[in-house]
């Protein structure tokens, strides 16, 4: 079982990364440093998380060489547009303290003005051609939006980062990705978003997953992450707890059976967030310069 995934342009990425969504800046440095010292070599952040500086500081404090760590970040919708997105790269690179980004994504679909999505993606294509980034992609695009993007741009995204966990398996979208050679990357990969939304039932306490885990001496989270890996996805679990960070990385020493994978697949209940109904500009996020 490989611990890496390979993009449609040949770039490889560690399959498991540390996510820092909603991680307060004052906790991000320690979380990133702990993850890198644990063995992670992939960190996922975003301009809209407002902790890129702290991700960079955690990398520096870890002592792990820059060229051994895969850094992924995202452009927020307030910086969509061709020139705006080129400048967004400069802002993120400066905060992270790096010259080149390994993967740069567009964070959300701007459904109120999708042409700005298109222009932002064309800026990503320019950054890729110039060597400023090693790979480019998108996040939270449903099949119709992905088709619209592909029709107007030249480079197929390396990645579409989407909500994906046992209660939301996104079968149609995963099939679309496979048809175009796009890697599926899961945010909220162990289903934490269900807890955030106040739902009592979520994958982290699901009895089917617990029963599977008991056979391997593994937690629900570890079983779920293994499910992602064996189906060829990347996953970016988040935590600031050193024990959880280590647990989420300890998923390479066992293998689920085909029947167990199918039992987890069957847990799907439905989407959590309808990204087509959200106006992300109304969030009022403005990405600062430094």
Residues tagged active-site: 49
Do residues 52 and 73 touch, judged by C-beta distance below 8 A?
yes
Q: Of 198, 212, 203, 202, which is closest to residue 258 (Cα–Cα)?
A: 212
Distance between CA atoms of 173 and 177, rounded to whole angstroms?
6
Give the contacts of 277 (CB within 8 A, at least 6 positions apart): none
Question: Whose structure tokens read 């939301």?
Answer: 168
- Look at residue 21 and give its three-state secondary structure: coil
The gap between the terminal CA atoms of the chain, to the nearest Å, is: 40
Neighbours of 243 (CB within 10 A): 9
């Amino acid at each position: 079982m490989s611990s890496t995934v390979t993009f449609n342009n040949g770039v490889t990425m560690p399959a498991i990364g540390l996510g820092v969504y909603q991680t307060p800046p004052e906790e991000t440095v320690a979380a990133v440093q702990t993850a890198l010292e644990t063995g992670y070599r992939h960190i996922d952040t975003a301009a809209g998380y407002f902790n890129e500086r702290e991700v960079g500081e955690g990398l520096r404090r870890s002592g792990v060489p820059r060229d051994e760590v895969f850094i992924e970040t995202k452009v927020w919708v307030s910086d969509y547009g061709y020139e705006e997105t080129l400048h967004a790269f400069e802002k993120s690179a400066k905060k992270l303290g790096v010259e080149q980004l390994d993967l740069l994504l567009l964070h959300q679909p701007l459904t109120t003005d999708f042409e700005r999505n298109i222009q932002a993606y064309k800026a990503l294509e320019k950054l890729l051609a110039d060597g400023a980034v090693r790979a480019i992609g998108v996040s939270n695009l449903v099949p119709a939006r992905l088709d619209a993007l592909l029709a107007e741009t030249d480079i197929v995204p390396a990645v579409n980062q989407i909500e994906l966990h046992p209660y939301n398996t996104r079968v149609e979208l995963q099939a679309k990705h496979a048809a175009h050679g796009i890697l599926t990357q899961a945010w909220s990969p162990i289903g934490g978003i269900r807890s955030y939304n106040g739902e009592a039932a979520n994958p982290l306490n699901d009895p089917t997953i617990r029963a599977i885990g008991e056979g391997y001496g593994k937690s629900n989270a570890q079983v779920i992450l293994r499910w992602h890996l064996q189906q060829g996805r990347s996953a970016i679990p988040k935590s600031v707890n050193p024990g959880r960070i280590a647990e989420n990385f300890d998923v390479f020493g066992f293998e689920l059976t085909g029947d167990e994978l199918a039992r987890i697949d069957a847990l799907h209940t439905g989407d959590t967030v309808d990204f087509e109904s959200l106006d992300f500009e109304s969030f009022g996020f403005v990405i600062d310069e430094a």
